[in-house]
Amino acid sequence: MAAVTDSSFGQLLKQWRSQRNFSQLDLSLTSNVSQRHISFIESGRSNPSRDMVLTLSAVLDIPLRQQNKMLTAAGFAPIYSEFDLSDPEVAPIRRALEFTLRQQEPYPALVMDRYWNQIVMNKGAESLIRWLTGEKEL
């Protein structure tokens, strides 16, 4: 079971390294880790520490959600929380988004998630969508 976890982390690391156009040497020089160790991690011959996962993720500028996947693949618990916009913990962010949308009036503006689902919209966007769809209310 450990080999599968290590190998999937190594594959993820290699994918991100390729996506960011880093060679093993570039990554090793930037992260202050030997190229051999990076090679061993990618091949599954070596297990990364939690700090190593976070260091390599930071150097490769991997998004937090993906860093959680990297940590899980390496056998560690995720450390970054995900919140829904309706959660009380992110109320200040929601207020800031609503303020920004109000400032765009009368022009349509909306906030979407990464799957293109509409989260919040202003009155201008509501009017535009009603006009486009022919519906009286949204």
Mean pLDDT of the chain: 90
Domain-located, residue 83: no
User: Within this chain, do residues 65 and 92 fall inside the same structural domain, yes or no?
Assistant: no
Residue ending a domain, among 73, 108, 123, is 73
Alpha helices in 20-113 (DSSP H): 24-31, 35-43, 50-59, 64-73, 91-103
Domain-located, residue 34: yes
Count: domains in the chain = 2
User: Within this chain, do residues 10 and 64 fall inside the same structural domain, yes or no?
Assistant: yes
Domain-located, residue 122: yes
Domain-located, residue 79: no
Domain-located, residue 80: no
- Domain hosting 44: range is 2-73
User: Within this chain, do residues 7 and 69 fall inside the same structural domain, yes or no?
Assistant: yes
82 pLDDT higher than 90: no
User: Within this chain, do residues 27 and 69 fall inside the same structural domain, yes or no?
Assistant: yes
Question: In the 8-state DSSP scheme, what is residue 126?
Answer: H
Provide the pLDDT for residue 1: 37
CATH number assigned to the domain comprising residue 21: 1.10.260.40
pLDDT, one tens digit per residue, over 89-137 is 889 999 999 999 999 999 999 999 888 999 899 999 999 999 999 887 7
